[in-house]
Every structure is written in C-alpha cells, then in structure tokens.
Amino acid sequence: MSETTSIPPNPFKPPRRIVTGHTPDGKSTTIFDGEVSSAPNVGTRFWVTKGWPTDNSGDNKDLRDESPDRAGIFQTNGTNFLAQDVPPGAIVPMHRTSTLDYGILISGELTLVLEDGPPLTLSEPGTVFVQRGTAHQWENRGPDWVRVIFVILDAKPFAYTNADGAQVTLEEYHSWSKAPT
C-alpha cells in the first residue's frame, strides 16, 4: 500500500502591492494599494511592461492584468514583476529563457540546479540571484513552502562561438516545449 503525501497549505498571505502614478495635472499619487492574489501557474503578478523604454505616462491602467506574451511569464521587449510560492517537493523542470531574471529569496530554502557544477542552495532570506539566460531547474527539497520575488526582463538569447568557429545561439525552452537538441 502506498502512502500519499499531502502538500501543506500555503502559509503566505497575499502580498500587498502599492503602485504610484500621476494625477491628470501631473502630481504623484497612489493608484493601487492592496493585496494581490496568485494567478494559476504564474505566481502573483505585480506588474508587466510591454515596450522599452517603459512609458510611465498613461491612464493609470492596472498593468498587473497584462499577460506576458511568452509562456504567460516572459514579455518580449518588456518586463514582469512577480512573486512565486513553491510548495514542498516541487520541481520546476530544466528550462532556459532568453531573459535576465533578478530574484530575491523571501522565505524557505530553494535549490538551483545548473548544467555544470554542484546544486546551489538558497536558504538565507534576502539572498539575491541574477539568472542570465542559463538553463536551470528549481527544486524545493525542504518541508516548507518557499517564496521568491522575480523581476524578469527580456534579453537577447545567449550566443557563443564553438570550436569550429561557428556562431551558436542557445534557444529558449521550458517544460511545455521540447528542449533543443
């Protein structure tokens, strides 16, 4: 008889998000202030920008509701700011994105697996990482939930010159697409 493992409930409350903007006459003001809930499979999205450089003018529309155009997480020529809660035992399969990801561990212990070198364990709240378009996998090997904050910026794919002198570009892939061969 197999024993089933249940995932404990997520202990984190929804994050509070404060967004500033401008009044019609150009004065600074708060346009959003409140808790934000998670979107299925993409974490808690705080803000998405489309286009570069970002335009801070406009109608104070809630850009949290904008869905990034690549896999619902990565925005071509833009950014995505989000929190990700990772349950115990979860594994985010090996993937590579053409992005620059800034991350901050808020709570818990998370393991980063790369193609070369030993796994790296992030366990100290406030640990930051910069993910530069590398293939990587995330694992929550511990008994507790993990919360990580990400700022994801679009980037050119990584390219290098191989031993034959040919230019090689590393393609983007994620768990719902086939890894390049």
Domain coordinates in residue numbering, the chain: 16-156
Percent of the chain at pLDDT above 70? Answer: 91
Read off φ and ψ for residue 167, nearest 5 degrees. Answer: -80, 125
pLDDT at 128 over 70: yes
45-63 tens-digit pLDDT:
899 888 888 888 876 777 7
Bridge partners, residue 103, by sequence: 129, 150
Percent of the chain at pLDDT above 90? Answer: 60
CATH says 16-156 is which class?
Answer: mainly beta
- Taking the C-alpha atoms of residue 33 and residue 101, their distance in angstroms, rounded to an integer, is 25
pLDDT value of position 57: 81
Which one is predicted more confidently, 100 or 56? 100
Q: Which residues contact 41 (CB under 8 A, 6 or more apart)?
A: 72
